[in-house]
Amino acid sequence: MADILSSIDDAVLTGVNSGVSAWNWTTGKTKIDLVNNILSAGAVSENLAFVNLAYESPVILPFALGLSALTLFYTHSKHNEYSNIADLEEKAISNGLLHPVVEECKSKCAERGYRDSIYGTVITGVPVFHPDFSSDIGLSYSLFGAGEILQGLAHQTMRADYFPPRKNCVKRGMDNVSNMLKELKTLIPKPAFA
């Protein structure tokens, strides 16, 4: 059983590394930028779920506002925590070392990632398997579940390898075209009558 779970975890980490590598190649940004974007998208999805619930039942409004505040606080604290971890990781890698705090965070992120993803998947599936749910409340469950899945993906992304920042693909392409044109100018013979 442990071998199966280890194989699944290896496959997840390979997929996350591929995604972060593609993000870095395309945008030139690091994994922390991607993590923060995913965390923010998850918070937006969860807050939309709370707003939808409050719209359906105004009695729930104070509860929904409280949950929105907690979600925003959690997201903000994770932004700060993960940014600090990313700084430690960058410094350690530049010295050719591994930082124990970073490695501990990666271990915790694996647990958080799987927990939130499984929880989000279950929450998203509740309206599907429970026919008494109205479509509006089902929408809230789906939005909240999607937010949890995104939070889980962000935690898993923190486990990915570090890729240093660089120019985005468009700037690199423009630089290559510019260099090719300069090289081409040197290859074209100048006219004799000039």
Question: Measured between alpha carbons, how far is 183 from 61 in angstroms, rounded to an integer?
Answer: 65
The string of pLDDT tens digits covering residues 29-81 is 999 999 999 999 999 999 999 998 888 788 888 999 999 999 999 999 999 99
Question: Measured between alpha carbons, how far is 7 from 140 in angstroms, rounded to an integer?
Answer: 34
| Within a domain: 77 | yes
What integer pLDDT is reported at residue 133 of this predicted model?
65
| Within a domain: 194 | no
Query: What number of CA atoms fall less than 13 Å from residue 91's CA on the CB side?
Result: 10
What integer pLDDT is reported at residue 192 of this predicted model?
73
Token duo for residue 153: 């993906």
| Within a domain: 39 | yes
Angle between helices 135-158 and 61-94 (to 10 degrees): 20
What integer pLDDT is reported at residue 194 of this predicted model?
57
What integer pLDDT is reported at residue 191 of this predicted model?
75
| Within a domain: 23 | yes
| Within a domain: 189 | no
Residue 96's domain comprises 10-184
What integer pLDDT is reported at residue 132 of this predicted model?
64
What integer pLDDT is reported at residue 134 of this predicted model?
66
- Overall number of domains in the chain: 1
Neighbours of 147 (CB within 10 A): 27
Which portions of the chain are predicted below pLDDT 70?
A: 130-134, 194
What integer pLDDT is reported at residue 126 of this predicted model?
76
| Within a domain: 62 | yes
pTM for this entry: 0.87
| Within a domain: 76 | yes
What integer pLDDT is reported at residue 131 of this predicted model?
64
